[in-house]
Amino acid sequence: GKIGTPTMGGVLILGTVLVATLVCARPFNPFVAVCACTMAACGLLGLCDDYKKVKEKKSDGISSRAKLGWQVVIALIAAAFVFFKPEISGFGASEASITAGEAGFTLGKDNPIGIGAICFPLFKIPLVDLGILVIPFFALIIVGCSNAVNLTDGLDGLATGCTISTALAYALLAYLAGHYFMSVEYLVIPHNLYIGELSVFLMALAGAGFGFLWFNCHPAKMFMGDTGSLAIGGALGTAAICTKQELLLVIIGGIFVMEAMSVILQVGSFKLRKKRIFKMSPIHHHFELLGWHESQVIVRFWILSIMLALFGLAILKIV
């Protein structure tokens, strides 16, 4: 059974990613800094939660309301940093540096875009600019992603495998977005001079995922706990914002979205209609109750995750 398996393995993921980032990336690059700090803060919150569960034998750890409150605080700070940091958003930077592409994002040649401009998949031109309202929108993405990964982490290696494919896809996106020819002339995706460095952080996350999966695959020798799942979700959500490909996360991280939506729909349906949509939520348990073996659910979800990541990258070039 799963009782007695060591939890808090997320400490290993978090430690590996942060050390690798300090050694191999430029830690003061604003994109790397905001992703690493958000990851560390979410991981710390998860660690407190896991510690309470293990040491104080409280089955639910920190109350869900307090946990959500802290997540919102962390996410708002990260979102505000992204909005107000000149290198990222061009906020307060001189016209010359923005035109030269040394601050903020550009889309195509000599076309600076604001940080509030939201790019939709399949559309090259941003359809909406939220201005300062993008801060709560960004915070929503970070909190949502953090909780979605947490919900996915219910079977051995499920969240870990999906993390790897999502992190690799965003590592490639970050690299492309920082590469002038690829982002400005070839793909026409938002370009920023400093974003390429984020691929080092995301590759570290994917690498840590592989290392952890070795012990986390079925039957698991250890679990990541909230320490890992909240940290990974926070990192991926922040990375999606930093690459200006927030909405693509719905496709690339499709498994996380599916897991979170299954819970929202199940709870909503039960409260409104007193009926359940799924046999059990999150949705991986629904398939277990349909008679799929645990390892079947896991590997099939991995397959979907890889396909969604490839599809998310492919649609950059379709249009």
Per-chain mean pLDDT for the chain: 96
Give the closest residue to 88 by CA, choosing from 145, 156, 22, 134. Answer: 134
Residue 171 tokens, joined: 């590592």
Q: What is the largest CA-CA distance in the chain?
A: 62
**Torsion on CA atoms 32, 37, 42, 48, rounded to nearest 10:** 140
Render pLDDT for 204-245 as a digit per residue (tens, 0 to 9).
999 999 999 999 999 999 999 999 999 999 999 999 999 999
In-domain check, residue 267: no
- According to DSSP, residue 119 is labeled P
In-domain check, residue 253: no
- According to DSSP, residue 196 is labeled G
For residue 282, is the peptide bond before it cis, meaning its omega torsion is within 30 degrees of 0?
A: yes
Averaged over 30-37, what is the pLDDT?
Answer: 99
In-domain check, residue 285: no
The helix, strand and coil proportions of the chain, stated in percent and rounded to the nearest 5, come to: 70, 5, 30
Residue 165 pLDDT greater than 90, yes or no? yes
Cα–Cα distances (Å) from 58 to 1, 120, 154, 266, in that order, read: 20, 43, 19, 25
Domain count, the chain: 1
In-domain check, residue 279: no
Residue 98 pLDDT greater than 80, yes or no? yes
Is 134 buried (19+), middle (13-18) or exposed (0-12) by CB count in 10 A?
buried
pLDDT value for 1? 59
In-domain check, residue 49: yes
pLDDT value for 177? 98
d(CA 99, CA 97): 5
pLDDT bin (cut points 50, 70, 90) of residue 60 is: confident
The residue range of the domain holding 212 is 10-248
In-domain check, residue 29: yes
Render pLDDT for 170-199 as a digit per residue (tens, 0 to 9).
999 999 999 999 999 999 999 999 999 999
d(CA 193, CA 221): 42
**Torsion on CA atoms 131, 132, 134, 136, rounded to nearest 10:** -160
Render pLDDT for 125-154 as a digit per residue (tens, 0 to 9).
999 999 999 999 999 999 999 999 999 999
Find where tokens 């400490």 sit: 11
pLDDT value for 57? 77
In-domain check, residue 191: yes
In-domain check, residue 311: no
